[in-house]
Amino acid sequence: MKLHGDLLSPFVRMCMATAIEAGIEQRVQLVSASSKPHEINVALAALSPIGKIPILETNHGHAIYDSRVIMEYICHVAGNKSLLPDEGNQHFHVLTLLALAQGLGDAAVALRYETFARPEGHRWPEYAERVKARINACLDELENKWHEHFKDVTLGTIAVSVVLGYIDLRHAALNWRNARPNLAAFHDTFLKRSSMINTTPKV
């Protein structure tokens, strides 16, 4: 299988971390690819009309996207039932936590584009503040309502830790650890896992 993307993307990194946690990292080849908000990547567009990373190209030549679907597919291929349990309540708790982490990641990447990639004269300060508010709302939700789920290694906790790492890398000034001891303790512990160590992006 070929995973098209770059570990600087939190969505690519969470897919590779899932492959490691599922024990099939040797079967997933990371193919360097990037997508910019103002350009079409022809190679990616040939695999997916969305044209964004990550895209997983299966051994049968099929393209799978986006990261949530790729992570679930990796669990399916590995026969792993712990990262995404079958049991109804657990299954949808994990998927909801994953969706929350994905939403946080979307906002963090959007803030990066707005404050770094967009030309300075075209930036929209009010939009940036709205995105920061969304980031903080997601972080508060994780701190206050999800800490009991942090003890398990699931698609949800993988995604949360990866996105927190992205925020540390790109938005350190947000100081997200302030008043969020549960989230900070979880992240500090999860970072010691081989899935996090072996997918640390090179800046």
Q: What is the pLDDT of residues 100-123, one digit of tens each?
A: 999 999 999 999 999 988 888 888
Return the residue matching tokens 């690519």.
12
For residue 2, what pLDDT is reported? 98
For residue 27, what pLDDT is reported? 98
Question: Could you report the per-residue pLDDT of 43-77, keeping only the tens digit for each?
Answer: 999 999 999 999 999 999 899 999 999 999 999 99
Return the residue matching tokens 């969470």.
14
Question: Does the predicted model carry a pTM greater than 0.85?
Answer: yes
CATH 3.30.2270.10 matches 2-78: no
For residue 137, what pLDDT is reported? 98
Span(s) in the chain for CATH 3.40.30.10: 2-78
CATH 1.20.1050.10 matches 88-194: yes
19 closest CA partner among 124, 155, 203:
155
For residue 39, what pLDDT is reported? 84
Q: How far is CA 176 from the centre of its chain?
A: 17
How large is the average pLDDT for residues 141-165?
A: 97
Q: Pull the structure tokens for residue 126.
A: 């009010």
Please count the other Cβ atoms lying within 10 Å of the Cβ belonging to residue 194: 11
Span(s) in the chain for CATH 1.20.1050.10: 88-194
